[in-house]
Structures are given as structure tokens and as C-alpha cells.
Structure 1
């Protein structure tokens, strides 16, 4: 993982100003003896290639390799961590440059990207103590060569520096992909995606570097607005008329096969609950046919069907070898008015409590020992790590515990994850880090933070004489590089 900036421009500081520098020991333990061991461990992982197996950078970005837009468009608008903090302090979504989904809307977004950037810079203090601060510092200093902290006074100078850098070939997507030393990146794609950009990348020799991930969520929730239209998209993509429950399953299998042919390693499922209880075929037929006919199923029926379909997705994964990722426990788009105006993923995702032990039991009883099946489970409810998820991952060979995700991919969240899961699941029933980001330039920052936190946790085990240094170093390399590749290897 490269930390050197590809910038070819020199940052112009005001007279007498000292350049902004990041401490090389940032996020490492404060205790001197532990920090010394952590430094040694981290040095063995900091330059490893990035294995990014779960994220939301679009293949189109890498395929077209066009220059990124302005600094606000690249670093502010797509970063929902950053946006939600500014909104919490009174900034409206439209004032941050986010456009409404309806072109005829009376809501007019901020048109001046420099104004959006200024709003971010003058609010820099709001991010103290947050992972967003760490990631953005890394991006600005290590990637772009910015030499002063964001502020109302420095905003325009930083903007001009970033804007000049983004016009250079060194900051096009493929050049950054190489400078970040990304070995493989997985996008997340709807089930009906034609995968055109992945095909283009494969033809250009990038087929093993950028791979799709099958995301069927909209099709599995019968009460989701627009569900019937999404079924039509599935039908067209699969070249199969979905007129019944059996043809629906057939179309999903057809699309999974297309993803496998395009190099996919995994599926991705973001349900509210973790329920995987299968329904009798007759009941699944009845509920699906009801929805297909235009009659809305009851909330209980819709929820039962979505749980049933998670079981069916597991059965298909056992057949085709795609790793199944499950990350429940998030109430999507909490503010329905923001959802209606600005679209999905703009209305603030909020965690809810999720139960796993009973919910995953049907799936794990059926496939937990299947040699062709792999399940990676994420959570944003820390209370279940030691109580439910670590014990499950610590016994079922098909299950792996996913990295801290969403609100937990923070320094202390990652540290607590190791503390609460390792004693039961060990290190080798986890997947290593996934960055889960749309913000392309934050990928190296996120992986770097994870490597530092793991180095610190392992260093504590060394100074407590629970691990030897060579074991800790080997484990750190596995967590950063070996385990993600192994966890997301297709099983078929």
C-alpha cells in the first residue's frame, strides 16, 4: 500500500507557516513499550497491497478513467460520514451540493463547488476524534500533498491545490489505483446490471483487479417501493419472463451465473433482520404471486419472504461458490422526507438491534458445514460480538466474522472488535478488513488505520507475553492481506 503522494505540485504555504505533518505513530498505542512493538509490527504491513473486497466504488469510474470532478465532488458529496456530521450541525443536504432526484424539484442544490468546500473546511473542528478526521487527513496530506489544515482561512488555497492536482494524469482513477497499490477491488452491483464496464475492464486486462459483487436486495423485499419495476429489470437482464416464483428463482440463478462469469467473488445482502427461516414452497409461491399480481403482502408476509430468500441465496451460494455477505441491523433512510427528495442512501442510516443466534440457525444448520459455502456476517451492534457472532464463527466452518462496519470502522470500534471476538473466534475465523466506501481516495486511509489498530492490539499481546513477536507479525500480515483473499475466494 503506497503512502507516497503522486502529486507533482508544490503546496504554497502562507509566509512563515509551518507545513502540516501527520505523526508517524498516529493511532498506535500510547504506552511506550507497547508502541515500540506496534511500530515493528506495523512496518511489516504498511506496504502490503490493498485487498478491497467490499466497497461501492463503481467499475465505471475505473473503466472510463476520466478525470475526477472538482474537490467538493470528489471528497465531500459522496462521503456520507462527512455529510451527516455537517447536517447534524445545521447544514442542509442541498447546501452540500447534493441534487434532488426529481429534476423538476423546487429544491436547488448549491451550484458552486468552492462554496461546498468552504463549508467543509470551516467545519473541520467538528470532526475531531472521528474516523472521518483520520481518513481525510490521510487523503489530504499523504495523497494530495496538502500542507495546512482545513479552515475558513485556508479553504481556497487547499481547493486550488486540489483542483490543480485533479487535472493531472497522476490523479486519474487508474493512476491512483496503481499508486494506492490496490491488488483487487470489488464493486457492488444490482442483480440486473449488464456488467458492461466490468467486461470492458476485463478486455483491457483488468478483469482480475476489478470484480463485481451480486447485490439482489431490491428484489428480495416485496414491499419495497418500485419492487415490480425491479422485477422487470431482472427479467430483461436474464432474458427470462418472470411470471411466477419458479421463474423468479431461475432468473436470479441466471444473473448469478453472469456475475460468476464476470469474475464475481461474492454476493451482498443488507437486510434489516438476520432471519433466514425458509418457508414451505407453497407459501413462498403464494406470497410471491400475490405481490406479482399487484396486491401488497402484509408486512409480516414480506418479512417472512425476505428471510426465506436469504436461505435461498445461501443454497445458491453452496451451488455456485459465491461468498455470501450479510450485514443486517440498519434502518435505511431514517428521514423519509430526505429520502423522497434526494433518493436512497441520502436519508441517514441508523443502527437497530439485531439478533443472530436464532435467526441464522436455519441457514447454518443447512449449510454451516458445507464445503462449498462461505458466509461472512457483519454487524453494527457491538453487544453481539462476544455473545453471538464470535461463538457462531468459532464453531461453524462456513462462517466468518466480518470486519467492523459502518459506525464501528473507527479506531476504538476496531480495537473493541478484537477484544470481544478474538478470545472465542480467534483471528482466523475473521475476514480481515473491508473498507465499504464510495469515497475512492479514502481507501488507503481506511486500510492504513485498520493495520495500525491491529498492530496495536497484537503488540499488547506481545508485551503481555501472550504472543511472540514473530507470531504477532505473521498474524498482522494475515489480517491485512492473506485472510481477505482467502475469505473471498470463490468456493466452487
Structure 2
């Protein structure tokens, strides 16, 4: 095996000029080992409930990570070749070792991408690998990782503790019984794993699961969810149940950020059209818009922090969606408008001190023009970090540069990793901490901030702000 060495440079992502780099190093030393607060993400609570060993390298690091397989697919690698499950739960009969070999042979495709940084961090720091992944080292990687996963130190709870995770939030549908969260709570383990309320399937008339999900929503709650009042009562009931399982937030993945403030009569009439089916695209958008305002009203009552993740054309590849289902890397950012779209909601709740709304975007053009000025004014409004396609070093820099003037640091909420890839969580938080330290070092070097102030801000961004924003 003629392998090339794998090393993580201690100054990665820091400024290239020596004086500013030295400041960044000092700042980073203060935050590098702070506990990880992961207030929004998509890890599987079953991992922590059952604490079973992960099966192998492929099932843990390749199959769940759409950042990885979307790149492979873009270069002509069929999803069947790497064992991605079909929409009906079936899978091609590919050996996981062979799937890993396909990944290893194509690992060069990730050069310079955040996936490369995250994965190399996992390989180096979690599994102790010191040679690079390529076709020649594929079996060495697969065997090393898979063997480690069978040991007690690599069980989910042990990794949770090793990663110094203070709290992690998963994301579930209102239809989820949350039995895994109950099992975690009753197990006696001290790890804090909480849920978040994500009602997309029962609030989006254009969601392919909407009719069946609405029926199940009624069965679970015992409410007549085909009436407007019963439907709203069902949401309130499930939100309270989610709170009993630790939830401090809701999450809404709408195509746009549109909100509406209809009268009860208008909202009821709209809902009647929705439940009868054959709803127009205009009615579907108006209903989603009204639901965001209803969810904000409920948040004011029950204290759950509200998140909106808009602006994505999900499942753009129709053929892939039909064969493999949702979340297979075919989601594409959209142009998104916030100023007019959010005004109905903000007119009602923007000045409420007990309401918190966290906004995200995939449209970076809105950072300085719309989002930072909004967050820099409304007491209830905060900006989530660079998200999804933009949680790369360049995207994090752009986020800070374009929001700082209007929103400052304290109208943002620090960092959340928003990932399904459990082992990448320390790497993602490390990247965010390094970039924030680099940004702060630049401000210190330019004499725009004293270093002691930068130390406080770095700690706030890494630890205090996410805890505060998500009421943890």
C-alpha cells in the first residue's frame, strides 16, 4: 500500500498573514474544547435509545450523507452502486465493501469541498487514520472503521460523550410517537437528546404524504382534523407532547417564507378547500403562509422557538424522487424574498419579547439587503447560520461579512450543524469555531475590536448564543 499521509494542519482555515493568524490561534484556544450544543439536526434518536453498534463504514458514513452521494451521482455514479435505499425500502444487492470502494475511488471529487474537510476530520480524529483515502487504501479504511464500530468505545452513547456534546436536538414529524426519546429518558443515561416539531407533512397540501398524514394526525390526537378548529387543536396537543419529550423548538421547511394573517372565517374557508383536495397552487401557498402565522401564535403561547428553513426546490430530480424518495441530494436553492413575505407575521408578533423566530436562507443575496436589517430591528427575529449549501468556510465568511454591519453578532444564534451525519458533528463545529475566530482576528488586527472583546464574542458564538436562542 503506497499511501499518502493524512494530516490535519493546526492552522487550517486561519488567516495566512502571521500577525492575524496568531490572534486567531489565541481566540481558538479559548473555544476549541467548549461543549458542543447541537440545537437543530437530523440524527436518528434510535441510535441513542438502543445504543447498538453501527453496522459498517458504508452504512454510517456513506448511505445517510446526501452531501456525499449527490456529488458521486453528479459524476455518473448510480445510487444503487453505493447501496442507497429505494423509496419502497428495497435496496440493490451491493456489498457494502464494494460500495465503499466506489466511494474511495472517487474521493478526489471532494477536494476543496466542506465534505472533504469533515470526512478527513472524522478519519483522522475519530478513527486515527493517518493515510489518505483512495482506491489503494479503500480496504484498509473499511476494515479499520468497521472493526472500530464493533467496540464499546464507538457505540452511539460513547461517541456522544467523547464528542463532548452537551445537548443534541433531533427532528420529528407530529406523527412520530417519540418512543426513542422516551426510551432515552427512561434508560438512566445522562446524555441529553431532545426532539423538535417539524409538521411539514401535515401543513403542506402539496406534500405527497399530506392526505394520509392528515388522517393519521386525527387518529393520533382524537381531534376532527377536517375542521379548522379541530386541526389547530391537534397541533397544540402534539406540540405539548413534543415539549414533554424535551422539545424547545419547531422547524418549518416551506418553499418560500410567505406568511399570511387571514381572519378566522377566511382561514376556515381556505382549510375547507384544502381538505377537499385538488387545491390550486395559489391556495396551497396561502395555506402554508397562514400556517406559519398560526405556528407563531402557538409559539407565543407554549414557548417553543420557531425556525423557518425556506427557499429550496426539494426533490428537483423527479425520476430520482420516484425511485429513491425524498432527501437524495436533488434539492436546489431558490431566490427567496423576506421583507414583504414576513410582514403579516411580524406585524402580529415581531415586537413580542417572548417570541423567538430564527430565519435561515439559501439565497445569500438576501443577507445584507433583507435578513440582517430585519434581524437588526425586530426584537423577536434572529438569523440562523450559513445553512446547507453555504455551511462551507467561504459561506460562513460571507454570512459574517454581509450581516455584521446591520445585525451585529448578537442578532445571530451562533452555529448549528443541521446534519444527519453524526460523526461529522465535531468537525462541523470545529470549522465554524475556526472561521469565527478568523473573522474576529481580522477585526482585532484592524483595531475594530479589542482582543478581550473578541474572546467574549468567540465564546458566545460557540456556546452561549445557541443555548440562549433555543432556550436550552
Please state which band the TM-score falls in when normalised by the shorter chain: over 0.9
Match of 1:355 among 326, 337, 348: 337
Structure 2 length normalisation: TM-score?
A: 0.97
Distance 1:80 1:334 in 2: 14
Give 1:141's aligned residue.
124
Distance 1:72 1:384 in 2: 38
Does the Cα contact within 8 Å between 1:193 and 1:237 map onto a contact in 2?
A: no
Asked if 1:325 is matched to 2:307, the reply is yes
Cα 1:95–1:152, aligned 2, differ >3 Å: closer, same or farther? same
Give 1:48's aligned residue.
34
Distance 1:427 1:226 in 2: 39
Return the offset for 1:279. 2.1
Return the offset for 1:144. 0.7
Query: 3-state SS of the aligned residue for 1:44?
Result: helix
Q: List, as ranges, runs of 4+ consecutive aligned residues in structure 1 with deviation greater than 6 Å.
A: none
Does the Cα contact within 8 Å between 1:223 and 1:296 map onto a contact in 2?
A: no
Cα 1:208–1:366, aligned 2, differ >3 Å: closer, same or farther? farther
- Structure 1 stretch displaced more, 218-227 or 476-485: 218-227
Match of 2:13 among 1, 18, 27: 27
* Matching of residues 169-180 of structure 1 within 5 Å: 169-180=152-163
Return the offset for 1:207. 7.4
Match of 1:36 among 4, 13, 22: 22
Return the offset for 1:200. 1.4
Instruction: Flag structure 2 segments of 5+ consecutive residues without an equivalent.
Output: none
Deviations 1:54-84 (A, max 9, x none): 1000211111100011101100111111111
Give 2:363's aligned residue.
381
Deviations 1:139-176 (A, max 9, x none): 00001111110111110111111111011010000000
Query: 3-state SS of the aligned residue for 1:479?
Result: helix
- Structure 1 stretch displaced more, 282-291 or 183-192: 282-291
Distance 2:89 2:198 in 1: 27
Cα 1:133–1:33, aligned 2, differ >3 Å: closer, same or farther? same
Structure 1 length normalisation: TM-score?
A: 0.94
Match of 1:313 among 295, 304, 313: 295
Does the Cα contact within 8 Å between 1:219 and 1:231 map onto a contact in 2?
A: yes
Give 1:91's aligned residue.
77
Return the offset for 1:291. 2.9
Asked if 1:59 is matched to 2:45, the reply is yes
Give 1:11's aligned residue.
none
Distance 1:305 1:235 in 2: 19
Return the offset for 1:46. 0.5
Cα 1:487–1:207, aligned 2, differ >3 Å: closer, same or farther? farther
Match of 1:195 among 147, 153, 178: 178
Deviations 1:333-368 (A, max 9, x none): 000111111111125100000000111111112111
Distance 2:434 2:67 in 1: 21
Deviations 1:267-298 (A, max 9, x none): 000100101112232232222223323x3111
Cα 1:99–1:389, aligned 2, differ >3 Å: closer, same or farther? same
Asked if 1:183 is matched to 2:169, the reply is no
Asked if 1:414 is matched to 2:400, the reply is no
Give 1:256's aligned residue.
239
Distance 2:64 2:9 in 1: 27
- The RMSD of aligned alpha carbons is 1.4
Return the offset for 1:102. 2.5
Give 2:322's aligned residue.
340
Give 2:252's aligned residue.
269
Does the Cα contact within 8 Å between 1:330 and 1:352 map onto a contact in 2?
A: yes
Give 2:88's aligned residue.
102
Return the offset for 1:188. 0.2
Give 2:63's aligned residue.
77
Return the offset for 1:204. 2.5
Match of 1:458 among 427, 440, 459: 440
- Structure 1 stretch displaced more, 195-204 or 269-278: 195-204
Return the offset for 1:225. 1.8
Query: 3-state SS of the aligned residue for 1:376?
Result: strand
Instruction: Flag structure 1 segments of 5+ consecutive residues without an equivalent.
Output: 1-13
Return the offset for 1:31. 1.3
Distance 1:303 1:375 in 2: 20
Does the Cα contact within 8 Å between 2:32 and 2:430 map onto a contact in 1?
A: yes
Distance 2:270 2:381 in 1: 30
Return the offset for 1:208. 7.0
Match of 1:424 among 406, 416, 419: 406
Distance 2:190 2:207 in 1: 33
Distance 1:118 1:403 in 2: 34
- Structure 1 stretch displaced more, 122-131 or 273-282: 273-282
Q: How many residues align?
A: 472
Return the offset for 1:484. 0.2
Give 1:126's aligned residue.
109
Cα 1:205–1:360, aligned 2, differ >3 Å: closer, same or farther? farther
